[in-house]
Amino acid sequence: MTTVDPSLRRARTAHTEEWWSILAALLAAGATTAFLWKAPDFEPSNNLAWLVPGWVALAYLFIQMACLLVSATQIRSLGVIDSIVSIIPVVAGLVTGIEWILGRVPLSSFQVNVLATMLITSGGEFLLTTWARFILNRRTIGIDTGAS
């Protein structure tokens, strides 16, 4: 039987915030896209429902920025995956928007508001995540043009 050093076991599970960030991005993309595609022409009967997308977007940004502030200085592959996954809600929103413009997905004015909120929020979150990870970790992309 082998024993595992407790510090190694703790290192694997110590930073779960990246998993929360990845999960939030995937849930946001999936839930919003499913709502827009599965309930075409949805219009709420209550005027206060128009406030819900903004508050959900604010909560999403809060979760993502809290996870980023805790984990941005770590250099790990999971942080890179988190940066890549943060583009998924943007792509889902762009595809839905293009399908709406082409007339393949009928959206109500409320759903257009939800789509615009999704695009602005997820685009801002993607840019902030990428910017913070590059700035805090001082990562740059370089191309070696020297002759070999």
Q: Does residue 124 form part of some domain?
A: yes
Q: Does residue 69 form part of some domain?
A: yes
Q: What Å distances lie between residue 85 and 48, 73, 126, 132, CA to CA?
A: 32, 18, 9, 15
Residue 44 falls in which region: left (phi positive, over 0), alpha (psi -120 to 50) or beta: beta
Q: Does residue 131 form part of some domain?
A: yes
Q: Does residue 5 form part of some domain?
A: no
Q: Does residue 78 form part of some domain?
A: yes
Query: What average pLDDT does the segment 120-145 reach?
Result: 77
Q: Does residue 10 form part of some domain?
A: no
pLDDT at residue 28, rounded to an integer: 92
For 89, residues 6+ apart whose C-beta sits below 8 A from its C-beta are: 25, 28, 29, 32, 118, 121, 122, 125, 126
Counting the structural domains of the chain, the total is: 1
Q: What is the C-alpha to C-alpha distance for residues 54 and 47, in angstroms, rounded to an integer? A: 13
pLDDT at residue 21, rounded to an integer: 86
Q: Does residue 3 form part of some domain?
A: no
Digit-coded pLDDT (tens) for 40-61: 889 999 999 999 999 999 999 9
Digit-coded pLDDT (tens) for 80-91: 788 889 899 999
Q: What is the C-alpha to C-alpha distance for residues 33 and 61, in angstroms, rounded to an integer? A: 18
Domain with 120 in it: 15-37+51-137
Q: Does residue 142 form part of some domain?
A: no
Taking the CA atoms of residue 28, residue 130, residue 124 and residue 107 in that order, the dihedral angle to the nearest 10 degrees is -40
Output 19 or 96, whichever has higher pLDDT: 96
